Structure formats: C-alpha cells, structure tokens
Chain A
Amino acid sequence: MPDTPHDIQFPLADFDRNQLPEDQRELQGDAYLQAIREHLIGQFVGQGGAAEVAVTHDRVIIRWKESDKAESLADQGANHLKQGNTEKGIATLRVALERDPADAAALFNLGMSLVEARHVGEALELLERLVAIAPDYPSAWVALGVAQGSFGEIDVAIQSFREALARHPQDPFAHKNLGAALSQSGQLDEACDHLKAAVVLLPSDAQAWLNLAMNLEQSGVTAEAETAYQRVIVLDPGGHLAEKAEAGRNRITQIKFRNAGGALRPDVLTYCGDAIKMFDAMPKEDVQRITLEIAMLGAKGLSVNDPSTKYQLRSLPGDFTGLHLLCIEYVGFKIIDPTVDIGFDISAEYAEACRLHGQPQ
C-alpha cells in the first residue's frame, strides 16, 4: 500500500452538477466551488483513506492518502452501533448499502439494528436479501430468524435457526435462539438440548442462562432451574435479567414451600401471628426499620426452605430462619406499605393469622 499521497486532478467543467443535492445545482461562484468541495469530502468517507479536496475556478484537485487502518463503511456503522450511536450507525450502514447493495456486513448489521428499532418489515427484507446473497455469512440465518420471530412467525423463525445450525453447527447464537423459539412453541425437550449447548458455548451470556432456566422451570426440573437462575443473577447483578431470574427463583421456592407443608402451613401461621402481636406493640418507625432491614437482607436471597440456616438482625435480637424473617417482612409491609409485593405469597396464612388475632387484614 503506497504511503505517498495520490494526486488526482480534472477540469472543473468535467464535474457533473447533477451529483450535487438538488438545491445546490444552480449555485454560482464560490458557493458552487464550496458545494463541490463539501460533496466530494462526503463521498470519500469510508473509502479507506483521507482526502484533501481543493476546488479552484478551473479544476478539482484531490490529494488522496490511503490509510493502513482503512475501515469499511459497514465496519464504521457497526462500530457506531456498538458505541450506542444507533442513529449514526443506521445512517452509515444505509450509505454503505447505497454504495454496494450486496455489502453483506452492512445488510447484517443494518438488519439487526432495525429489528432492535422495531422496524421489522424493512429488517426482514434486508436479511432475506443477505441470506440470498451470502447464505454462509456468519449468523445471517440467526439474524433472519430473530427478525421473523419478532414478526410473530415462530415456526418460520425455527426453520431459519435450523438452517443456521445446518451451516454452522457450533454457532452459539443459533443454539440459543433455536432453544428459545422451541421453548416458546412448547417443544421443551428439544429446546433444552439447544439451550444447554448455548450455555456451554456462551458461559457468560446471562440471557442464554435465563432461557435455559425458564425452560427447566417449565419442564419441572426445579433444582437445575434454580442453579441456572442463580447463574443469571451472578452474571447480570442488578440488571433486568437478574430481576427475571429472581422472580423465577421465587416461583420455584414457593412451589417447594407449598409442596413441603400443604395448603396452609402451621409454621407460617405461627410466625405471622407472632409478627402481628410484636408489631402491634411497636411504634411504626420500628416496624419500618425491622421490615426494611429484612428486605435488604432478602435482596441477597433468604434460604426459605432450609431451617438449618439462621440469620441475625441489628434491629431485632435473636436467631431467625429464612422463613421466619420472610413472615416478619410480609407482615411488616402489610403495616407500612400494603402495596409492596415481596414476591412470595403467604397471603392465606396471613389472613388466617389476622382472623385468629382479631385484626383486620
């Protein structure tokens, strides 16, 4: 690749005015020269080098220096998307496609970004073009499947994901998305195989673990589902995926809890009754302090189904099981803010405890 600049000159008369935007074609004098200059500078963006453009009254002069780090327009667009500049990314990718309608990288990245921007119709068109032109482009069929899935065409999406795997059997995203789509269409066993393959190939992908956890939960494989949910919480602390995982874990805990003690659990009934009596004799600030301390502790996870694990509070003396603390928290929130859902349903036991203690619910 030459380091020296490459000079190009041609007469101004050879410049075709029709290249300029319509409102600039009638310009005269310096304004015309300036418009040409700006137009040409824009044309050379993404061309793999740097251009200096001078336009005199009789000629156009371009000094071109190729760059070692030449980056295609499609790559530039993809980088804008990675940096969160969606609008700029989409605009750049559109220019890349104007220049080359068969630019596979531009078709892929623009298609995917339009799916995310919910312009699914256009995304489908681009991704269908991509698989027609470059059927082996990495993840092309996965992207098409994602777009089809977003359009509600799950069966068609499943076919695309299968095509992706036929071409690239180790494509983690094909496994991940095929597993999710099969789960969605109720084919849980086959889905599980793909979701397990996905987490092996993408061990740090919280969404892949969440897909697996939900599939396992739906299939009733609760112990493995809990482990998978726990993995999501570790990988996406505080994120929306972790929130979903927390909810899933709570559902499993509750099922186990119910399975262990029947319709109305006497231990919960006792804990709720004790909490009602205790809080009845306390100022509301103390109720609040104790309740919030348990809520904070619970954010890290209380072991509700294991009576051997004990917890201590700063605001209340004694050793407590997880279930006991949960009951105190439940009753506490009923006093300080009844709209709070702690994600664990002991409403039947609470109602019965209120009735026994002559308290309104």
Chain B
Amino acid sequence: MPLAPEVQQLIQQVEQLSNRPVHVMEETDLKARATVTPARRGAPGHIVRFRPGSPSLDYLVASQLQFLIRTFTCPAAERWDIVSTDTERDLGITAMGLGEFEEPLARMMITSIITQLRTYSIGFRVDDWIWKNLPGLRQQQEAEICSQLAENERALKPETRQKFPKPLVDANSSMNALYATLWGERLHETRFVIPFVAMGYRGKVAELRAALHETPDDPVCDKMLIERWAPVLGLTGAFHFKPYTSD
C-alpha cells in the first residue's frame, strides 16, 4: 500500500522523534476512520490503523501521525496522557447526566466524550497544520472533513439526541458546532453551521474558539487547551493528566 511521499516523511519524523518504528495497517472492523496506538508495554512500534477502502488514506494516516508528532516534539517531561480515577469518572457521569444509565454504558460514554475533548481540541491543530503544510493532501482532507461535517449534522437528528442526556448532547454538539463553524468558513460550506446556530450553540462556539485562538499553537500548550475547554463543556474534574510513559 503506497503512501504519499509527504506521509512517508511524517513516518520518518515520528520514528526519529520516538526511536520506535511506525506500522501502518488495515483493520476491517475499525469503528473510527483511523486510529493510532503509541508504542508501549514492549510493543515493537506505533501502530496506525485505518479502515480499508478509504480514498483519503494519506490524509487519515497523516493526521494520526501528527498527533504522535505533537506528543513527541514535547520534551519528555511535558508529555502526558488523559486518565480518570473512579472518583473523577463518577463526577463526569453525574455532570453529563449519565447516572440513569447502566454503569458500563455510562463509563463508556464518559470515556468517549473525554476522548472527543482531546481529539477535537488537538485535532484542530493537527488539521490546521496539514492544511497549511501538506497541500498535496488538500483534496483528501476536504473530502474527509466534509464527510465528518455531514456525519456531525446527522447526529443532531431528534431521534439521536433523545437517546442521550442533554449535558452529554450539549458537550458533543458544542464541539461539533465549532468544527462546523471553523471548517464551514474555510471550505465555504456555511450550511453545516446553520443547525447548530438554530439550536443555540453559538455562545459555546465563541467560548471554545476564544480558547483555541488564545492558547499558543505549540504542542507543549495542548494540555492547556484541553484544560480551557473542559469547563466550557462541563467536564471539569472528570479527568486528569498523568505523565506519558512508554511502559
């Protein structure tokens, strides 16, 4: 499976920064479009997985690699992971209105929204970097983002929203609304913003956007960005950062 030269360069960069090889592989049952698993616990290398058949493979792999690059360009002492203690998780479950759900489901949903907090906030940095620095992947990036925008819009359907408690829906929709706003502007696809505006997410968008703009675009500051977004989304106290280790 040949990857574009610029993606090959990113792979080399990750390998140099982390002293571990990168393996890119298909995974048929993957739920997300692509994922990355950093090399830990004796794993021979970082693994980027993607769903087969995607026409935007280079972009999807590049974006996963950029997440790794942002981690490994930080000094070792500044690298981190997001984790939750039981107490933090319970606090998050209550804040997101998930107390009525079975515990395993509630835990899965709180983990999922915290993951979204991380992937969306840093994802804006990653996507912005790719947009500015890898013009050869622009077409793939636009296609994937438009597809994501359409998917986010579908999540606004009443039947979907009614399945989940309002605080959780609001946290998810606020991040999706910012995504629609920023990419709607850049791609001149303003229609994606309209439903979020109509449902009243403009205020949340302004708060998240201000944090995004005011936090320096330096990987060392990624943690700060997440800390600024958390209270806007009602996720304060639901997680903490722990030093990154390869163990």
Nearest-CB residue, chain B, relative to A20:
B200
Scan B130-163; emit 1 where CB is below 8 A from any A CB, else 0. 0000000000000000000000000010100100
What are 28 sample pairs from A and B whose C-beta atoms fall under 8 A apart?
A: A8-B198, A10-B198, A11-B158, A14-B158, A15-B200, A16-B199, A16-B200, A18-B200, A19-B200, A40-B197, A40-B198, A43-B197, A43-B198, A43-B202, A47-B194, A48-B190, A49-B191, A60-B198, A66-B191, A70-B190, A98-B206, A101-B209, A101-B210, A101-B213, A102-B209, A102-B210, A102-B213, A133-B213
Distance in Å from the Cβ of A51 to the closest Cβ of chain B? 7
Do B209 and A64 touch (CB < 8 A)? no
Bound-state Cα–Cα, A99 to B194, Å? 13
B52 at the interface (CB under 8 A from A): no
Q: Using Cβ atoms and an 8 Å threshold, which residues of chain B touch A6? A: 191, 194
Scan B182-208; emit 1 where CB is below 8 A from any A CB, else 0. 000000111101110111101001100
Bound-state Cα–Cα, A11 to B161, Å? 11
Interface size range of chain A in the complex:
20 to 34
Bound-state Cα–Cα, A331 to B213, Å? 69
A126 at the interface (CB under 8 A from B): no
B residues in contact (CB < 8 Å) with A: 156, 158, 161, 188-191, 193-195, 197-200, 202, 205-206, 209-210, 213-214
Interface residues of A in 1-29 (CB under 8 A from B): 1-2, 6, 8, 10-11, 14-16, 18-19
Q: Using Cβ atoms and an 8 Å threshold, which residues of chain B touch A8? A: 194-195, 198
Do B206 and A47 touch (CB < 8 A)? no
Bound-state Cα–Cα, A111 to B197, Å? 27
Do B194 and A62 touch (CB < 8 A)? yes
Distance in Å from the Cβ of A86 to the closest Cβ of chain B? 25
Do B191 and A10 touch (CB < 8 A)? no
A44 at the interface (CB under 8 A from B): yes
Do B195 and A48 touch (CB < 8 A)? no
Since A15-B199, A60-B198 are in contact, a sample of 8 more A-B pairs with Cβ atoms closer than 8 Å, ordered by chain A residue number, is A14-B161, A14-B199, A15-B200, A47-B190, A48-B188, A62-B195, A98-B206, A102-B213
Bound-state Cα–Cα, A51 to B188, Å? 16
Known contacts being A47-B197, A99-B206, is A10 close to B156, with CB within 8 Å? yes
Bound-state Cα–Cα, A257 to B161, Å? 87
Known contacts being A100-B209, A101-B209, A133-B213, is A49 close to B190, with CB within 8 Å? yes
Do B206 and A101 touch (CB < 8 A)? yes
Distance in Å from the Cβ of A127 to the closest Cβ of chain B? 16
Q: Using Cβ atoms and an 8 Å threshold, which residues of chain B touch A102? A: 209-210, 213-214
Q: Using Cβ atoms and an 8 Å threshold, which residues of chain B touch A51? A: 194
Q: Using Cβ atoms and an 8 Å threshold, which residues of chain A touch B194? A: 6, 8, 44, 47, 51, 62, 64
Q: Using Cβ atoms and an 8 Å threshold, which residues of chain A touch B213? A: 101-102, 133
Do A100 and B198 touch (CB < 8 A)? no
Q: Using Cβ atoms and an 8 Å threshold, which residues of chain B touch A62? A: 194-195, 198
Bound-state Cα–Cα, A176 to B158, Å? 58
